[in-house]
Amino acid sequence: MKEETIVLHAGHRRDESTTSVAVPIYQTTSYQFDSTDHASKLFSLQELGNIYTRIMNPTCAVLEERMAKLEGAAAAMAVSSGQAASAFAVQNICHSGDNFISSTDLYGGTYNLFSNTFKEMGIECRFVDPAKPEQFENAIDKKTRCIYAETLPNPKLQVFPISEVSSIGKKHHVPLIMDNTAAPYISKPIQHGANVIVYSTTKYIGGHGISIGGLLIDGGNFDWEAAGDRFKMLNSPDPSYHGAVWTQAAKPLGPIAYILRARVILLRDLGAAMSPFNAFTFIQGLETLPLRMQRHCQNAEKVANFLENHSKVEKVIYPSLMNDQYLERAKKYLNEGFGALLGFELKDGVEAGKNFINNLKLFYHVANIGDARSLAIHPSSTTHSQLSEKEQLSSGVTPGYVRLSIGIEHIDDILEDLEQALSSS
């Protein structure tokens, strides 16, 4: 099936007990076992099935299957937030004393998780500038467990060199984890060599801004067994699950050693499960994702061109307006448009940014991105003053910087609101 069909039909045709076409909300904690033998097989991973909603749930399973098929992946796991997905993606293969490599171009919450919280856990994050992909290789050593990056990093919006870095990782048996939150449908990182995908479903997957959630997606294309001692947690007996060796336990089920361990260890022990109700809302959003992303991208392109020619704007940050190097990269990895996020620099700095935000009437002033509605924020009015010089440089946020998340409203109304707010700033 093509993407537009997958988001409507994968994982569910009808509910077998009621014949419901809509995916039911299975608001339950537990599931009746057929027999003691059935329970034993489930707990020993001889077969897959529902045990407890903290670990799996039928409503979540439909979302997981649709997203796995959309990405061309082996399996997916729904979690309580995008932040939980980012944490689990690394923690699943990276323990105290290990290190991993991350692009410097990250969402601020992820940057803090990696540079501070993980540090307290004894996990070292080595940051590398993606403008120089070859430097990822220089940062790898025998304790490196993965490379992490964002496809379309917020707020720099310089598309990550996925295939270049995945090739480096493959040479050293190091997987590439890509956060594709800002580019669902328009980018397929697994096709370019990525091994694991992370999503905050809170954003474009839902599109409605009513639920928080995340996804961890296993491409099934990394040979964990061949990597040997680099991944002892997958290739040696795990005392946390009856001595299971995950690369062996997963073989009857498919190439899902990574996601299987994440589900029955991390999700079981740390409990960051997505609620069935939230999964239901994300399924509703997913059904229209291709249509929405097309409209998001069309509107954002027009807004970028409008701002590029506005007298009060110093600079516009959008993939189609970047230099040849980043434009070619965007064309390579973004197949259906350049995304819905854009930034711009106002000539008169902080005060102009504040005035612009305060004068908006259609745009919502919120911290989120990815709603069907148009959203705006001026980071310097909130967090910029609290950042160190290094963090300011890494974030790409400057005093006059404004970030827009362009919605699917009529483009004339979007442009009219921007014009009146700029004129008043």
Tens digits of pLDDT across the chain (425 residues):
999 999 999 999 998 889 999 999 999 999 999 999 999 999 988 888 999 999 999 999 999 999 999 999 999 999 999 999 999 999 999 999 999 999 999 999 999 999 999 999 999 999 999 999 999 999 999 999 999 999 999 888 999 999 999 999 999 999 999 999 999 999 999 999 999 999 999 999 999 999 999 999 999 999 999 999 999 999 999 999 989 999 999 999 999 999 999 999 999 999 999 999 999 999 999 999 999 999 999 999 999 999 999 999 999 999 999 999 899 999 999 998 999 999 999 998 888 899 999 999 999 999 999 999 999 999 877 654 455 555 555 556 688 899 999 999 999 999 999 999 999 87
CA distance 205 to 173: 31
CATH number of 3-284: 3.40.640.10
Of 188, 198, 175, 191, the residue nearest 106 (C-alpha): 198
Strands (E), 38-123: 75-79, 99-103
> What are the structural domain ranges in the chain?
3-284, 290-424
Total Cβ atoms within 10 A of residue 172: 15
Residue 384 confidence (pLDDT): 47
Looking up tokens 């097989």, which residue turns up? 41
Our measurement of the distance from residue 239's CA atom to the centroid of its chain's CA atoms, rounded to an integer in Å, reads 30
For residue 311, give the amino acid letter.
S
Task: Mark out the alpha helices in 218-323 (DSSP H runs).
Answer: 232-235, 246-249, 257-261, 268-270, 276-287, 289-308
Alpha-carbon distances of 253 from 48, 115, 365, rounded to whole Å: 8, 36, 46
Q: What is the pLDDT of residue 381?
A: 73
- pTM for this prediction: 0.94
CB 375 within 8 A of CB 417: no
CB 263 within 8 A of CB 77: yes
Q: For the domain 290-424, what is the CATH code?
A: 3.90.1150.10
